[in-house]
Amino acid sequence: MDSIGGTVKQPGSTRINKTGSWRTFKPILDKEKCIECDNCVLFCPEGCINKDYDIDYDYCKGCGICEVECPVKAIKMERE
């Protein structure tokens, strides 16, 4: 540790901490079923789904909110 008192010296360094490793269940989107309603984009608490509906697995913690909010059941949570 090169800092004193747990100080973080590098701004924006939270990116280094890939929280995707916390995940037990992984959301899988079936783009054939997707109606592009944007519910998953809006409800994702981590901002891990972009406008093209690509899921950022580096930071997705696998909470499963997207699966619940998807009106056409296009997202399924699968065990890692």
Partner 1 sequence: MVVKVISANNAVSHAAKLAKPQVIPVYPITPQTSISEYLAKFVADGDLDSEYIMVESEHSAISAAVGASGTGVRVFTATSSQGLALMHEILFAAAGLRNPIVMANANRSLAAPLSIWNDHQDSISQRDTGWMQIYVENGQEALDSILRCYRISEDKDVLLPSMVCLDGFILTHTVEPVDIPSQELVDSFLPEYQPQESFLDPENPRSLGTFTDPNYYMEARYQTEVAMEKSKKVIEKVNQEFSEIFGRDYSVVEQYRCEGAEIILIAMGSICSTIRDVVDDMRGRGEKVGLLKVRNYRPFPKKEIYEAVKNADRVAVLDKNISFGMGGALYTEIKANIDVESCGFIVGLGGRDITPEHIEDIVNKTRNPTKEITWIGLKEEV
- Cα–Cα distance measured from residue 29 to residue 66, given in angstroms and rounded to the nearest whole number: 10
Size of the site for partner 1 (CB under 8 A): 10
**Per-residue x/- marks for partner 1, 3-22, CB under 8 A?**
xxxxxxxxx-----------
- Cα–Cα distance measured from residue 80 to residue 15, given in angstroms and rounded to the nearest whole number: 22
* Residue 71 binds partner 1 (CB under 8 A): no
Paired strand residues for 46? none
* Residue 1 binds partner 1 (CB under 8 A): yes
Contacting positions for partner 1 (CB under 8 A): 1, 3-11
